[in-house]
């Protein structure tokens, strides 16, 4: 019986006030989603929905089916609570309004 080669990867998740980076040894050929499941991170953060979560490796978005390499860090991203484009538009509108009021 041949021994299966394994690799060491990390799985990371962060909240505003808490984070976890878990090391996990997985079989070579493991996907990002499978590593996240194998890490047990959902036991620590019950709000994680791995079936719908966006994943990345070192800040670059990847498919859940991305095959991992030794040393990769799988990051589980939380859903956005506001569209960044809309937030920037609103901030720019407030700044324009302030400038207009200062000039009046």
| Domain containing residue 38 | 6-79
Instruction: Give which of 43, 104, 30, 37 is closest to 72, Cα–Cα.
Output: 30
- What pLDDT score was predicted for residue 64? 97
- What pLDDT score was predicted for residue 2? 53
CATH code (residue 41) = 3.10.20.30
Sort residue 59 into left (φ over 0), alpha (ψ -120 to 50) or beta: left
Q: For residue 48, tell me if it sits in a domain.
A: yes
Q: For residue 23, tell me if it sits in a domain.
A: yes
- What pLDDT score was predicted for residue 89? 84
pLDDT tens figures, 45-72: 999 999 999 999 999 999 999 999 999 9
Q: For residue 49, tell me if it sits in a domain.
A: yes
Q: For residue 40, tell me if it sits in a domain.
A: yes
Q: For residue 52, tell me if it sits in a domain.
A: yes
Q: How many Å apart are CA 98 and CA 65, to the nearest integer?
A: 48
Is the Cβ–Cβ distance between 32 and 7 less than 8 Å?
Answer: no
pLDDT tens figures, 1-31: 457 899 999 999 999 899 999 999 999 999 9
> How many domains in the chain?
1
Q: Which residue has the higher pLDDT, 92 or 23?
A: 23
Q: For residue 104, tell me if it sits in a domain.
A: no
């Amino acid at each position: 019986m041949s021994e299966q080669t394994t690799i060491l990867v990390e799985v990371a998740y962060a909240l505003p006030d808490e984070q976890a980076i878990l090391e996990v040894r997985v079989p070579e050929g493991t996907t990002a989603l499978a590593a996240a499941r194998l890490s047990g991170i959902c036991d620590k953060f019950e709000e994680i929905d791995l079936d719908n979560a966006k994943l990345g490796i070192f800040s670059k978005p990847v498919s859940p089916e991305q095959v991992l390499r030794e040393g990769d860090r799988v990051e589980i991203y939380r859903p956005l609570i506001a569209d960044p484009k809309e937030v920037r538009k609103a901030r720019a509108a407030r700044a324009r309004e302030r400038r207009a009021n200062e000039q009046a």
